[in-house]
Structures are given as structure tokens and as C-alpha cells.
Amino acid sequence: MANENDNGAESPSLNILAQYIKDLSFENPGAPRSLQARDKAPSININVNVNANPLSDNDFDVVLSLTAEARDEDKIVFAAELVYGGVFRITGFPQEHMLPVLFIECPRLLFPFARQIIADATRNGGFPPLMIDPIDFAQMFAQRFAEEQARVN
């Protein structure tokens, strides 16, 4: 049953139908030496990407990809990669709001779970848990949209 507002129009609705790990990888190539105390913390590089694909008229698969690589000079200390997805049912939003919902709101809902998986993987790999800072998906979307517009023009 659809939610309707006083005008008889469908109220916007965003529901998570499923969440899943599509791919999870953790590499600790220098173990056990990489677990020894070190003079300085390794440099950590984190990359984030979001993709969305329609499954039906109202259902969408949104995938949040996170990669984290810790390096001590030229040596990889650890590398983690997670592809975490969610199936969302989205109804009642105007068409012009669909991309922001898919690329801002959906990954914002997935992020805390993905962050915890990465933290657990690094902790289970023998390191302190890597707690990725919150991500500004609105800024990320705006940047990606601007790049797409520049490419078209």
C-alpha cells in the first residue's frame, strides 16, 4: 500500500530491502613483521566510490566501494577493499531528486555498516581498527556532477 499525502500524491519513501558484502579483501603482506611496533604511523590512503543501478522501476542496487591502503614509505603495511551494497526501494520522489537520493542518501545509510566492516577487518588483521572519518556524500556528488557536466560541455 502506497503512502499518500493530503493531495492524494504518493509520499516520498526510502526503504532498505537488503544489505550485503559483495567483495571483501584484507591483505597483510608483511606479516608478522608488519605487526611490530614502529617509530611512526603508516600513511593511509582511502578511496571511496558510489554506483547505483536500477533493478526495477522502484528498486535500486546502490554499491559503496571503499579501499584503504597503509604504507610505510614504499612498503604496503595493509590493504583493505570492501564493496558493500544495499537494495533500496524508492518511491514518491520527483525525478529531479532521484540522483541525490541514490548518490547521497543511500550511501549515507550504508556507510556506518561499511565503516564497521573495515574497522573489524583491520583489527582482525592485527592492527588498531581503522575508523574511517565520516564522508560528505553531498560534496562528493556535487564534485562528480560537475565533472560529468564539464565532460559533456
Residue 1 has pLDDT above 70, yes or no: no
Given a contact cutoff of 8 angstroms between Cβ atoms, the answer to whether 118 and 110 are in contact is no
- What does the pLDDT read at residue 87? 98
Homologous superfamily (CATH) for 13-144: SecB-like (3.10.420.10)
pLDDT greater at residue 80 or residue 9: 80
**94: β partners:** none
* pLDDT tier at 5, thresholds 50, 70, 90: very low
C-alpha distance from residue 72 to each of 53, 61, 66, 110 (Å): 37, 36, 20, 30
Stated pTM of the model: 0.87
Dump pLDDT digits (tens) for 39-57: 888 899 999 999 999 999 9
Average pLDDT, the chain: 91
Secondary structure letter of residue 134 according to DSSP: P
Dihedral of CA atoms 38, 71, 28, 121 in degrees, nearest 10, equals 90
